[in-house]
Chain A
Amino acid sequence: MSFVKLTASTLAIAAVSATAAAARDNVQVAGSSTVLPYASIVAEAFGENTDFPTPVVESGGSSAGLKRFCQGVGEEHTDVANASRAIRDSEIEACAANGVTDIIEVRIGYDGIVFASQIDGPDYTAFTQSDIFNALAPKVVVDGELVDNPYTKWSDFNADLPDAEILAFIPGTKHGTREVFEEKVIAVGCEETGAMDAMIESGMSEDDAEDACLEVRTDGRSVDIDGDYTETLASIDANSNGIGVFGLAFYENNTDKLKVATMSGVSPSTETIASGEYPVSRPLFFYVKKAHIGVIPGLKEYAQFFISDELAGPSGPLAQYGLVSDPELAATQAGVANEETMN
């Protein structure tokens, strides 16, 4: 019967593919959607410039990428995890529990986080961390008292801001960007407005107050975006009052649709981020599984190619796309060359 033949040939194909699966010859990368653009630029160039196959770069977010990275050693696991934040201790422990002990940390450069709104929308041109905190925190300080956030318009707490409804699209919790947003914007705003002190006075321990600071209001004025920046952009397009959180590179690619706000008086650019003047920036990383070097062809070469002066340097294609290149690139290069692992 022809069905028997079909089934038999299918089984044969499955068997052949199972054996072929034993030899993966391409580098497998997964992780942060912020690092993905840079990694794809490097991966394409790596394939064009070397005789190794082009690496596969998957998206999914820093946490998801590190989780998969930490699942074990072997060809069925990823070789490199991209992350828009540093690896956490808990993740290093999870890695170690699965036998992933030698991890090489590679910092590729810096990325700025900008607040941008519809180009024809209200005049959001200057923010401070306190403004963002006042707009988005569940509890704020009004007349020295800690109260549930009463503000519905930006002008309610800062007369210089436009008389427009508060609506912010911020990265969801699976994004590394969220952590930077919390740490560099919300937490700073919490301290500056005195909300943190008020919380401690009200009887909270310092740790609890720090955690409480990072919460955002849940009445719909702050919207978590779990997708990519394009989703944030679409939300901004649909809501003229909305402000969104973007990566600098994304903003620079869409200057015709977005206008950017300064943060504490500094406008975001590669220069102000490199000099450290612009306060909301973060380093970008990728992590390499040392046990895979020598097993997966081209892994070390990929890592070295990524951070070479020609690519990650100030005049390379990554900087051209929007990465703020790392002034200490040479040290990183040496670290990768010597396969220095984290301790």
Chain B
Amino acid sequence: MSDMSMDSAAPRRSSKSLHEVDARTRRRNAAETRFKACGIGAIAIGLFFLVVLVVAIFRSGLPAFTQTVLDVEFALTQEQYEDAESQLFKTKAYSQAFNGALKTQLDESGVTLPFDEASIERIAGKVGGTIREYFRANEDQLGQPTSFQLAASSRVDGYMTGRVTRDGFQDSRFLTLADLDLVDALEDAGIIRTQFNWNFITGADSGVDNPGGAGIGASVVGSFFMMLVVLFLSLPIGVAASIYLEEFAPRNRFTDLIEVNISNLAAVPSIVFGILGLAVFIQFMHLPQSAPVVGGLVLTLMTLPTIIISTRASLNAVPPSIRDAALGLGASRMQSVFHHVLPLAMPGILTGTIIGLAQALGETAPLLLIGMVGFVARGYPDSFIDGFVEPNSAMPAQIYTWAARADAAFYDKAWGGIIILLMFLLTMNIIAIILRRRFERRW
């Protein structure tokens, strides 16, 4: 028995060897493996949701980039033009002229299906505005046959892109089953076709009954002017504040208080800034309502802490030896900061700024309160200054507005808008990464 126990003691001793794994080590290794598995699992879940999100966005958003158009050639006579211009609701008269031309073209194409003016009206979108604009700008074209590619109604567009299907289709005053047969016939005749929707990228918002005319371009411009305001206010203010706090300010209770409050400001919900914007910028300072300049000011407040915090971090990362060397050679403190420290901290500052801007670009909540949500992005500003003060919307606000509209076609537009917004955010983040990679110095 004692031999046995000696034998069993021998392997225990040899288990002290690093080559043999004892139970405790095995447990620790198992714990590590489990932790790694958890980490990989977490990443996998994250990636899974990312893929689901991207697939969902692209599946729902891509229809916004195609458009169903009616290709119709017609001549508007001088009398028709004058008659339309004499009416109160001029664009309706133009629409009717277009519908008449479409009907003629349909008769000539030999389509045998029964159709009447009402069904033509249901198939054609709201086209009067475009036609009026064209002929007012080109009065010499009156009487000349002109070819128009104009949007079909949102239901027809839905039918062509697969959103509206024949099974389960219910006749309504917007579209009937007989109209769908007519649409098929028109497609065979080459009058209806789908094409890339440039108007979605360049156009402005439209009324709720005209999803075909809606575009995100105007609100991209609104976002651009807001970002200009944010950039030109928050960058100099943020950088000046951080340089002072980091390089010049004495360390005392007062500067500690300021530091704590900057961190607090970074955590304030953005809607609070919206309320502040309404009270201070619009009602007290009398800046214009719904204007990108106000949106920019509000978002500046929101972006400032982000920029200050990242700027201070990158100033902090510049080794003290650089400052000491500059001071040792007789530079003033200001010279050492502006000639040596700041250039070295610049990549970090710019990265922080771009990330702050990207955050501001996607912000909707404060814009709700300063009147940038609704039917606001109605067109492009006339001049650079107008870009700041003319009412305009912003991309996330426009997406929100579209998502709330009854016609399902606007839902596609909202997803399409998300794709555009994501592209802007992606571009900005890539620029931030490139800046960091190219200019960052490591010590």
Contact = CB atoms under 8 A, between A and B. Distances in A.
A49 B89 contact: yes
Contact of B371 (A1, A30, A250): A30
B354 to A, nearest CB: 16
Contacts of B236: 3, 6-7, 10
B172 A252 contact: yes
Nearest to A25: B390
Interface in B162-184: 164, 168-170, 172-174
A44 B378 contact: yes
A60 B372 CA distance: 11
Contacts of B221: none
A45 B374 contact: no
A33 interface: yes
A75 B288 CA distance: 8
A30 B405 contact: no
B406 A17 contact: no
Interface stretch (A34-42, A177-185, A197-205, A208-216): A34-42
A76 B88 contact: no
Interface residues of A, number: 61
A149 to B, nearest CB: 32
Q: How extensive is the interface on chain B, given as a class?
A: 35 or more
A71 B283 contact: yes
B374 A58 contact: yes
A36 B210 contact: no
Given A21-B287, A44-B206, A54 B379 contact: yes
B294 to A, nearest CB: 9
Contacts of A26: 390-391
B128 A48 contact: yes
A33 B404 contact: yes
A45 B388 CA distance: 25
A249 B338 CA distance: 62
Contacts of B375: 36, 39-40, 43-44, 56-58
A58 B371 contact: yes
Given A54-B379, A78-B289, A321-B209, A254 B373 contact: no
Given A45-B89, A228-B404, A16 B338 contact: no
Contacts of A310: 87-89, 92
A58 B235 contact: no
Contacts of B129: 44-45, 48
Contact of B91 (A30, A48, A74): A48
A41 B208 contact: yes
Given A1-B338, A24-B288, A16 B385 contact: yes
A1 B335 CA distance: 11
A9 interface: yes
Contacts of A36: 208, 374-375
Contacts of A53: 378
B290 interface: yes
B232 A21 contact: no
Given A21-B389, A57-B374, A10 B233 contact: yes
Nearest to B154: A253
Contacts of A49: 88-91, 132
Contacts of A47: 378-379
A308 interface: yes
A57 B289 CA distance: 11
Contact of B388 (A13, A78, A252, A254): A13
Contact of B289 (A3, A16, A28): A28
Interface of B: 87-92, 128-129, 132-133, 164, 168-170, 172-174, 206-210, 229, 232-233, 235-237, 239-240, 282-283, 285-291, 293, 338, 368, 371, 373-376, 378-379, 385-386, 388-391, 401, 403-408
Given A310-B87, A321-B209, 10 more contacts: A20-B288, A39-B375, A48-B129, A56-B375, A76-B282, A76-B283, A76-B286, A230-B403, A253-B407, A253-B408
6 smallest CB-CB distances across A and B, nearest first, come from A44-B207, A310-B89, A58-B374, A40-B375, A54-B378, A253-B406
